[in-house]
Every structure is written in structure tokens, then in C-alpha cells.
Amino acid sequence: MDNTQGHTAADALVVFGVTGDLAYKKIFPSLYAMVKRGMLNVPVIGVAASPWSLAQLRKHAREAIIKSGEIDDKPALDHLLSLLGYVSGDYNDPGTFKALKNTLGDARRPAHYLAIPPELFMTVVKGLGATGLAEQARVIIEKPFGRDLASARELNRVLRSVFADDAIFRIDHYLGKEAIMNILYFRFANTFLEPVWNRNYVASVQITLSEAFGVQGRGAFYESAGCLRDVVQNHLFQIVALLAIEPPAYQSFDAVHTEKHKIFRAMRPLAPDDLVRGQYTGYRKEPGVAKDSDVETFCALRLFIDSWRWQGVPWYLRSGKCLAGTVAEILVELKPPPQRLFDDSAPTNGRDNYLRFRLSPRTAIALAARVKRAGKAFTGDQRELFLLDEQPDKEAPYERLLGDAMAGDGALFAREACIEAAWAVVEPVLAKHHRVVSYKAGSWGPNEADALIAANGSWHNPIAEETE
């Protein structure tokens, strides 16, 4: 699937928030990788409030790249540093955008990347429009896309008032991960899945996205977001959509986006009893966190998709910080055979036939089945057909997504209609929900999450060896 036909490549990249944490940890290492691959040879103009010199920015960029790994191509690093430019100023000051226009020089098709706090998105977009910097340009918006349905709609309205619809790129870095794209490929490149990929054979689906670390000094940000807004409404829902969509009608990512939108529309809006909100012990002692905070650092929810294919199948999603491992995994549990012909085939752990996708830290696909032991007795053991799929030279998500945005390829970016439909699912529980319950750091979350899934068994906890 290729959506690049007919698009003109950007002739400059502008990074708002270039002195921030995201640029340091993700963007500079990705830009370095793009230069090494020959994918980046245009000016990269940083914009931020910090009163830095260009030399300071170059030093900062070099340190960021060194911290992310070794410098294995010094000419590429030197070339990236030579592409950098810097504009210092307040985003509320029209003079900042005039200075940016001068720094861009002859560039006419810049890609403006907003790696800034979401409350500044509309300020910068309006500033770009007022200065004529949006003509023939693209804008790349970093999640979160709003805090609820109303704010998402307002953000989209402002974006469309300044930029053409096909010039707006909403980054969800999860969509750039190789393992996520492999879900789409695995589903529709293989015939054997389709006959069983429905309510007749699937008992339930579980998705776990866990982190072993806490908020890491970002308590103030987390107080404004929480787990439901930070990862569930976007990352986890995108995974659900790829697992649940109908086969696209034709070979195009536009067809994929159309089917994903149908899934978001078919998701049953959440009710308070569908959601367990947890908070790890010690969170309230983090800097910037309220002493009586009710913000969740853990979410577990039960979701239903009211479609022909998935009617009645529960989807269980959970994510959180300070959990037992840093891992992302999907478990699609199949229904048992209609008649148990062998006494030992009752599952010992609550499940025996399933398909497992491990998304990180090492990507893999596993199919579970029971296999007979040698001898006369009809007894067997649980086995997994296990496929490890590691590709050491694969592109990092930001490398791929920045390259795609600059090329004008919107295939892997979130669409406006899908974002708003996803917000509509969580909207009922953003304000009306049960209070957070505490859980011990290093556990798999609060006991209440176990009760949520009890009617369909238990949570699948990825084993320790796979989280190292």
C-alpha cells in the first residue's frame, strides 16, 4: 500500500518545542537516522522560547544523539548539525513567526512539527496562518488530540481553518511501530485466520500495555492527562481497530481508515462499571501531583463492539505505570471445542487455544495448541508455535512517521473522524467514574481489575523472560 503518489516532498522541517523532552529523546535520534539513510537533506529549523544560540542547539542535538546510542556515522552527524537553524521567541508574539519566515528563506513547502504542549497547538497554528506560513505547508500534530470530544472538535476546526485536510498529520507514534503494522499484514495476508476471526470462535480479546516505571518527574503532565487519555483512547483503541476491522474493500490505506472508523463507531460507549481506575502507591508523593489526587496511573476496561462480527465478544484492555514489566501483548482467546473428547484437555490455566501477539519489547507471534504425549494414553501438553520476528535494522516510529509526513504520505496517521469517534466512546466516563483504587508498585494492578474480567477467566500476564 503506497499513498505517496502525487505528493510533493517538504523542503524544510520546522520543529516547535525543539529544546523539549520529546525532541531530545525521540526527534533528534530519528533525524540522525534519517540522514544516515539519505532520507533527510533539507533545513531543520528549531523554534522554542529558550534564548539559545545555534551553537547551543547543535550541542544539545549532539548530546541527544549520543545518549540514544553510539555515533556510528560522523559525517551523517555533521551533516545533520549543518542543516540546523534556530529561532527563539514567544509563540504568542507575531515577531517569532516573522523571524521563522526569514530563517526559512527560499523554502516554500515546510512541514511544521508541533512537539509542544497541547494547550499551545491552536496558538501556533493561528500564528502560522497569520504569517502566511501555512500556504503549501503541512502541520504535524503530536498527541493528545484534545482532552475530550468537544476540545478535539475545536482543535480540528482550527486546524482546518488554516491548513488543507490532506496537509494535517496527527502523529500517534504507535501507528509507526513495525509490530502494529504487522497486525494488519498478518490478518489479511493469511487465509487461515479469517474463518475463525469472529464471535463464533473468539471467546475474548485482551490487550496489555504496561510500563515498569512511574511518571519519571512528569507528575504535573500526568495530573492533566491520566492513563485513559494518555494511552487508552489512542494507542490501545488503534490496536483494537486493527484487530477488529473488516477486510478493506481495495488496496489502499484510505480503505483501512474507512474500516477503522466503522469500528470506532461500533464501540459501545463506556459506563463507569466498565472501567477500573488505579493509582500506584507513592504517586501522590511525586513532584507536581496533588496530595489527594484522583488521577489514574492504571486503567482496565471492558469494551464491546456492536457489529455483526464481534457482537457479544468482550475486549479487555489495561495499561498502567509501575506494573510488573514493560511489555505490550495481545491475547486472542478462542472458544473451546464443542465437545471435550479427552479428559485432560480441560485447560489448566483457564485457556488452551489462543493466538498471542507480543508487540514489545521483542516482537513475536504465538499460536497455542495441545499436543499428545507419546504412548497409549490420550494425554497431552500445552504447546506454542512461536515465531520471533526481530528485524534489527527496522525504522523507529518517529523516523518513519516524520519521513512519511514530509513526503506527504498520510497512511499511518490518525484521521479526524476516527479521533472524534474514539473520544465519543470514552466521553461518558471522563468525568463520571469510580474513584481510583491503590495498587502496589511492581504488581499487575489493583484486585478490582481481576474482578472486571472474572466472568471470562483471568488476565494474561506476560511472563518475566519476555519483559526483560
Q: Do 286 and 219 contact (CB within 8 A), yes or no?
A: yes
* Three cell numbers written together for 7: 505528493
Residue 168 lies inside a defined structural domain of this protein: no
Together in a domain, 314 and 198: yes
- 3-class SS of residue 441: coil
Q: What is the mean pLDDT of residues 249-278?
A: 94
CATH of the domain at 51: 3.40.50.720
Look up residue 419 and give its three cell numbers.
479521533
420: cell is 472524534
Of 126, 142, 158, which closes a domain? 142
pLDDT value of residue 445: 97
Task: Identify any residues that bridge with 36 across adjacent strands, giving them in sequence order.
Answer: none
Provide the number of structural domains found in the chain. Answer: 2
Determine, yes or no, domain membership for 166.
Answer: no
State how far the Cα of 241 lies from the Cα of 4, in Å rounded to an integer. 23
Question: Does residue 348 sit within a domain?
Answer: yes
CA torsion angle 236 241 242 245 (round to 10): 160
Q: In the chain, pLDDT over 90 holds for what percent of residues?
A: 72
CB atoms within 10 A of CB 166: 12
Residues 314 and 444 in one domain: yes
Nearest-CA neighbor of 113 among 34, 33, 167, 49?
167
> Which of 133, 157, 159 is CA-nearest to residue 14?
133
Q: Indicate whether 128 and 210 sit together in one domain.
A: no
* 31-40, 360-369, 442-451: least confidently modelled range: 360-369
| pLDDT value at residue 349 | 54
CA atoms within 13 A on the CB side of 200: 6
Measured distance CA(316)–CA(300) in Å, rounded: 7
The answer to whether the beta carbons of residues 466 and 327 sit under 8 Å apart is yes
Do the Cβ atoms of 266 and 306 come closer than 8 Å? yes
Q: Averaged over 407-414, what is the pLDDT?
A: 90
Percentage of the chain lying above the pLDDT 70 cut: 94
Q: Can you state the angle between helices 253-266 and 237-244, rounded to 10 degrees?
A: 110
Residue 394: strand pairing partners: none
From 98-112, 253-267, 384-398, 413-427, the region with the lowest mean pLDDT: 384-398
Q: Indicate if the pLDDT at residue 71 is higher than 90.
A: no
155 is a domain residue: no
* Res 467: pLDDT: 40
Summarize the confidence of residues 55-65 as an average pLDDT: 96
Using CA of residue 359, residue 364, residue 369, residue 375, what is the dihedral sign?
A: negative
Decide which of 424 and 252 is more confident.
424
Q: Is the pLDDT of residue 27 over 90?
A: yes
- Give a yes or no: residue 266 inside a domain: yes
Give residue-wise pLDDT tens across range 384-401. 788 877 666 567 888 999
Residue with cell 468525568: 431
For residues 297-326, give the mean pLDDT: 97
What pTM did the predictor assign? 0.90
| Residues annotated catalytic, as ranges | 235
162 is a domain residue = no
The per-residue pLDDT for 5 is: 43
Domain boundary pick from 124, 142, 160: 142
Mean pLDDT of 421-434: 96
315, pLDDT greater than 60: yes
Pairing of strands 202-210, 327-334: antiparallel
Q: What is the pLDDT of residues 165-180, one digit of tens each?
A: 999 999 888 888 888 8
**C-alpha to C-alpha distance for 412 and 257, rounded to whole angstroms:** 9
Answer yes or no: do 118 and 224 share one domain.
Answer: no
Average pLDDT of the chain, as a whole number = 91
Domain shared by 258 and 115, yes or no: no
Does residue 35 fall inside a structural domain?
yes
Which CATH number belongs to the domain containing residue 417 in this structure?
A: 3.30.360.10
Strands (E), 246-307: 275-280, 298-304
88: Cβ–Cβ under 8 A, 6 or more apart, which residues? 47, 48, 49, 50, 51, 52
Residues 118 and 34 occupy one common structural domain: yes
Phi–psi pair at 243, nearest 5 degrees: -70, -30
Q: Is residue 158 situated within a structural domain?
A: no
Whether residue 180 sits in one domain with residue 121 = no
Mind listing the pLDDT tens digit for each residue in 212-232? 999 988 888 899 889 999 999
Same domain, yes or no: 116 and 232: no
Closest CA to 73 of 43, 41, 42, 29: 29
Indicate if 304 and 436 belong to the same structural domain: yes
- Which region among 182-191, 261-270, 323-332, 368-377 has the lowest average model confidence (pLDDT)? 368-377
pLDDT at residue 392, as a whole number: 61
pLDDT level of residue 437 (50, 70, 90 thresholds): very high
Domain region containing 88: 12-142
Q: Are 278 and 409 contained in the same domain? A: yes
Residue 99 sits in the same domain as residue 222:
no
Confidence of residue 403 (pLDDT cuts 50, 70, 90): very high
- Cis peptide upstream of residue 144 (ω within 30 degrees of 0): yes
Do residues 128 and 55 share a domain?
Answer: yes
Q: What's residue 393's pLDDT?
A: 59
